[in-house]
Amino acid sequence: MHSLSQGKAIAVFAAFAFAYFFSALIRAITATLAPTLVQEFSLNARDLGLLAGGYFIGFAATQLPLGSWLDRRGPKTVVLGFLSVAVLGCVAFSMATSFAGLLLARVLCGVGVSACLMAPLTGYRRWYAPENQMRANSWMLTVGALGMVASTLPVQWLMPWTGWRMIFLLLAALVGLAMVMIAWQVPAWQHAQAPASGLPRPVSTGYAEVWRNPYFRTLVPLGFFNFGGLVAIQTLWAAPWMVKVAAYSPLQAATGLFWLNVAMLLSFWLWGVANPWLARRSYTPDRIITYGMPVSILLLAIVVMAGDAISTGATAIFSVYFVSSTVGAMAQPAVGLAFPPHLAGRALSAYNLVIFSGVFTVQWGIGLVVDGLRVSDWTEPHAYQGAFGVYALCCVGAYSYYLAAKKP
């Protein structure tokens, strides 16, 4: 394990952050494009949920092999290989002429950007001092939130001028530029040295040690439902809720998403500033999650029960809900720090698999429930309330498991 100079550490962070910005933009852009794609390809709620979830199918499918590759080959080599697939996915999406073509391209995009957060976190685990790792994680998420901001109003403004197909060609070029920056700035991977006895270190490439870890298992339901579901709503279902329940226009919904993501950006940035101060005062991630998560669940319940009664305030209440839910992000770097450096890549990727499996499940599941309730003669606003209510109950169950599992 070694440390980078301050200047090099900043350059490495900047290179990774540039790639993660576009990773987040590609992830979230479906929400802004949803009205256009629904109209052009005649999609229903189930199709829209599956299309957005296609990204997460590709993303989740790579996480287990990704962890082993990161531990063995290092962040630089792995992320460059994956980003080449992202370029292909963006080009394929721009050329799609059917729902099947869109879905395949989204899967390729998910595969291609699936290392954009895990690669830097694995590198930071070895290159950065422990007190800076929580901060680096929060600021990477800040950059991701900035990418999501860019996927809202800026994309909506570009649409009349370029169309959605040209936007994806531009994204392909910018991802290629990110690859150049990473190749230039990120150092080569150096394997952990053998023990002082001179005997070789036994090499394990499996995940058994990760999955057996009690602390890891304690956090699994929270990652799957509470944080994974947050991302599912942020990247897809917040905009349809605003249109179908709160009666926003597509432009008003894009504006609402813009401010939602600005709120997320500011909250992640503040976490990065506050984390060292909180750590010095014994505010551990577990303590923050324990006291913060009930606030998030309560705000989600208010959204569900109020429905169209808070039509004009939908953006504000969603923003507060999203900000309160960022406490769930504290679990990710905590997982990395709970394992030795030679297991960090696998631990982080396994937890990321949990999160993005949850994103896909919630994203598609809400669409299925909405369509099912519509078949049962529920009005569209009430169908959305019912689907979000089912999700809220899952969050309550996940938090209850977390509290029960962490008791000695």
1-186 matches 208-407 in fold: yes
Task: Quick: pLDDT tens for 214-273.
Answer: 999 999 999 999 999 998 898 788 988 998 999 888 888 888 888 988 898 899 888 888
127-to-3, 133, 165, 186 alpha-carbon distances in Å: 5, 9, 39, 11
Mean pLDDT for 386-396 is 97
- Is residue 195 within a helix (H) or strand (E), and if so which, with residue range? none
Nearest in space to 262 (alpha carbons), one of 298, 199, 315: 315
pLDDT given at position 2 = 52
Is residue 370 scored above 90 in pLDDT? yes
Is residue 27 scored above 80 in pLDDT? yes
Nearest in space to 128 (alpha carbons), one of 276, 273, 3, 277: 3
CB-based burial label for 226 (10 Å; 0-12, 13-18, 19+): buried
CATH fold of 1-186 reads: Growth Hormone; Chain: A; (1.20.1250)
Domain boundaries, the chain: 1-186, 208-407
Distance (Å, whole) CA 55 – CA 69 = 21
Per CATH, is 208-407 categorized as 1.20.1250.20? yes
Cβ neighbours of 407 (radius 10 Å): 6
Higher pLDDT, 226 or 145: 226
Percent of the chain with pLDDT over 90: 49
Asked if residue 150 lies in contact with residue 251, where contact means CB atoms within 8 angstroms, the answer is: no
Q: How many CA atoms lie within 13 A of 335 on its CB side?
A: 33
Q: What is the DSSP letter of 214?
A: H
Is residue 193 scored above 70 in pLDDT? no
3-state secondary structure 263-326: HHHHHHHHHHHHHHHHHHCCCCHHHHHHHHHHHHHHHHHHHHHHHHHHCCCHHHHHHHHHHHHH
pLDDT given at position 135 = 79
pTM for this prediction: 0.77
Task: Quick: pLDDT tens for 304-346.
Answer: 998 888 777 888 888 999 999 999 988 887 887 788 877 877 8
Q: Average model confidence (pLDDT) for the chain?
A: 88
3-class DSSP state of 376? coil
41-50, 78-87, 242-251: range with highest mean pLDDT: 78-87
Mean pLDDT for 199-209 is 64
